[in-house]
Amino acid sequence: MLKIEPLPHKDKDGNIILNRYSGRLTGGDNPAAEAMLYGAGIKNESDMKNKPQVGIAAVWWEGNPCNMHLNDLGKIVKQGVEEADMIGWQYSTVGVSDASTMGNLGMRYSLPSRELIADSIESTTMAQWHDGNISIPGCDKNMPGTLMAMARFNRPAIMIYGGTIKPGYSTRLKEPILVSSTLEVLGSVLANGKYGQEDLEEVVRHACPGPGACGGMFTANTMSTAAEALGMSLPGSSSAPAESATKHRECLSAGKYLKVLLEKDIKPRDIMTPAAFENALVITMALGGSTNSVLHLLAIAYTADVHLTMDDFQRVSDKIPFIADLKPSGKYVMEDLYNIGGVPAVMKMLLAAGLMDGSILTVTGKTLAENVKDAPSLAQDQVIVRPLDNPIKKTGHLRILKGNLAPKGCVAKITGKEGTHFVGEARVYDSEQELLDEFYQGLVRPGKKIVICIRYEGPKGGPGMPEMLKASSVIMGAGFGKDIALITDGRYSGASHGFIIGHICPEAMEGGPIAVLKTGDMIEIDSEKNTINILDVTDEELQARFSDWTPPKPSITRGSLAKYAKLVSDSSKGCVTDAELF
């Protein structure tokens, strides 16, 4: 990371210097830079020399409901920054729609986009000498991308979540729907089940009624909630809907809070401490967050120089009950949670029970406990968040499993509705598409317990570690959830549910045991003992199988995916692309 020495926090007279970085650019021998800044809109020499410059990074583009409104939110943020007597510069980063790319080759670009977002915000902040940053993410990989950038440049910064979408409504299904509903109805259609083609067409038309990220406790809402628990976003940011007046007020207020951070010289790494990451893990377990949180929190922690491992997720999962009846495994959506007090109300309850650390610093300049002190308490008669003494599941839903199939670990999402133990016969596929092709042909109809294995979909093998939401959804939609477990060295969407295990490490492309798994092998998955094993196959037999195995040639040898495959770490380290790991 390029080291740039800022101006002192105070001048010789004791006055706080707010433009500690931009002042290096505008206060020295950089006439071309000053000319460009005047051309961009700075009005006079006093503003040039004295006002802090704030980058406002929206992960904006028009082709995705999660991101389509973020430029408009950025304009409100800019207004608030200017009202706080600072200069705001808006810009955009790249974005990938996880829903649009699900189940097709475009999904290979989803996880790598996290690194591109971090790279682009880091590049703009550092190159343009911004004194602070306000980033506005929307879709799944956006939140960790912005937080990783903040941990890198480590200047005062705030993350504003773009907000959750309103649920759609299907008159044919007679129930609220989300984008994930389209894939589950597709599964039913393919299996000649409850729903038909006309049902599918109506669900597709009404699943996404406007702007905002997918409404369940999927990856976007999981990571925004984790960011709020980390202290990196303003109170209520993670649960305020995209089109709400609350979200508008949050954007307008961000400037004044960033100025507080500049005045107090509070930086992201002052906030993203080990205790803050512990809080993020606690809220993730309590609300039933996405398996992707494991990858992303590991990556953010690594970037912030905080030691966090997969074992920490298991440790927290063992002590935190799963209490939220939220989709995908439950009934309700984030807007419903917002209507009963939102994430601040949940954190207030967890703080009162001693399960979260209220002393951590946040982007308000206050502690987490101070932030939620005046938040409403959860009403006694609400049914979305269960009492801690009457949870949906006594321990967390995310389980870190290890065994001869995953020596370095894997991530299971077990809410308890699927059971906690599964033994079945392996059916092996070398890609998600292989499985889907057979499913569409009616060849996947379990007459007994089976464990479907999708391999060569890891960070290097995919490349890009694509999500398997299409596979998991058609299985659930077809009604096979009790008879099929799904395992992969790829990932799952936060919208996935069922007996699913991902992130198997080492991956097949790297010569992990999953590479030599055979159709017909018996597999045992035990989420109470936290194990995943190939049964009746000795270590010697596994080694013998490798004598007949050679890694396949990379499918992509040029472009951004080839670079990603070359640089990316394994999933146990969060799939970061930092050269220090190698």
User: What span, in angstroms and rounded, lies between the C-alpha atoms of 268 and 363?
Assistant: 8
Query: Which regions of 5-131 does DSSP assign to beta strands (E)?
Result: 53-58, 87-92
User: What span, in angstroms and rounded, lies between the C-alpha atoms of 385 and 378?
Assistant: 8
Chain position carrying tokens 């029970």: 353
DSSP state of 367: B
Cα 549–Cα 504–Cα 355 angle in degrees, nearest 5: 165
Instruction: Give whole-number Cα distances, 337 to 333, 342, 492, in Å.
Output: 7, 5, 23
Cα 141–Cα 143–Cα 147 angle in degrees, nearest 5: 120
Helix (H) or strand (E) holding 413: strand 406-413
Q: Which of 244, 472, 493, 571 is catalytic?
A: 493
User: What span, in angstroms and rounded, lies between the C-alpha atoms of 258 and 232?
Assistant: 11
What is the DSSP code string of 143-176? Answer: HHHHHHHHHHH-SSEEE----BPPPEEETTTTEE
The SS3 assignment for 231 reads coil
Contact between 150 and 119 (Cβ < 8 Å): no
CA 105 to chain centre: 20
Q: Return the pLDDT at 582.
A: 47
Contact between 522 and 424 (Cβ < 8 Å): yes
Residue 278's closest CA among 225, 217, 229?
Answer: 229
Q: Return the pLDDT at 469.
A: 83
The SS3 assignment for 115 reads helix
Q: Positive or negative CA dihedral for 460, 463, 466, 471?
A: negative
Chain position carrying tokens 């109300």: 345
Residues 6 or more apart whose CB falls under 8 angstroms from that of 302 comprise 308, 573, 574, 576, 578
Contact between 313 and 281 (Cβ < 8 Å): yes
Q: Return the pLDDT at 477.
A: 83
Q: Return the pLDDT at 579.
A: 55
The SS3 assignment for 238 reads coil
Half-sphere exposure at residue 19, Cβ-oriented, CA atoms within 13 angstroms: 20
Residue 283's closest CA among 335, 224, 329?
Answer: 224
User: What span, in angstroms and rounded, lies between the C-alpha atoms of 256 and 250?
Assistant: 11
493 given a catalytic annotation: yes
Burial of residue 89 (CB within 10 Å: 0-12, 13-18, 19+) is middle
What is the DSSP code string of 305-365? Answer: T----HHHHHHHHHHS-B-B-BTTTSSB-HHHHHHTTHHHHHHHHHHHTT-S-TT-B-TTS
Residue 113's closest CA among 299, 260, 237?
Answer: 299
Residue type, 329: S
The residues pairing with 525 across neighbouring beta strands, listed in sequence order, are 422, 532
The residues pairing with 560 across neighbouring beta strands, listed in sequence order, are none
Q: Return the pLDDT at 81.
A: 98
Sheet holding 132-136, edge to edge: 87-92, 53-58, 132-136, 157-159
What is the DSSP code string of 441-497? Answer: TT----SS-EEEEE-S-STTTTTS--B-HHHHHHHHHTT-TTTEEEEESSB--TT--
Residue 126's closest CA among 53, 191, 64, 18?
Answer: 53
What is the DSSP code string of 187-222? Answer: HHHHTT-S--HHHHHHHHHHS--SSSB-SSSSHHHH
Backbone angles phi, psi at 170, to 5 degrees: -105, 120
User: What span, in angstroms and rounded, lies between the C-alpha atoms of 261 and 537?
Assistant: 57
Residue 325's closest CA among 401, 408, 217, 215?
Answer: 217
User: What span, in angstroms and rounded, lies between the C-alpha atoms of 425 and 480?
Assistant: 15
pLDDT in tens, the chain (582 residues): 788 899 999 999 999 999 999 999 998 789 999 999 999 999 999 999 999 999 999 999 999 999 999 999 999 999 999 999 999 999 999 999 999 998 899 999 999 999 999 999 999 999 999 999 999 999 999 999 999 999 999 999 999 999 999 999 999 998 999 998 988 898 888 777 889 999 999 999 999 999 999 999 999 999 999 999 999 999 999 999 999 999 999 999 999 999 999 999 999 999 999 999 999 999 999 999 999 999 999 999 999 999 999 999 999 999 999 999 999 889 999 999 999 999 999 999 999 999 999 999 999 999 999 999 999 999 889 999 999 999 999 999 999 999 999 999 999 998 877 788 999 999 999 999 999 999 888 888 878 999 999 999 999 999 999 998 888 888 888 888 889 999 999 999 877 777 899 999 999 999 999 999 999 999 999 999 999 999 999 999 999 999 999 999 998 999 999 999 999 999 999 999 985 654
User: What span, in angstroms and rounded, lies between the C-alpha atoms of 135 and 57?
Assistant: 5
| Structure token pair of residue 44 | 């006079």
User: What span, in angstroms and rounded, lies between the C-alpha atoms of 108 and 466?
Assistant: 5
Q: Positive or negative CA dihedral for 532, 537, 543, 549?
A: negative
Domains of the chain: 19-51 (no CATH), 52-166+213-367 (no CATH), 168-206 (no CATH), 399-552 (3.50.30.80)
Q: Positive or negative CA dihedral for 576, 580, 581, 582?
A: positive
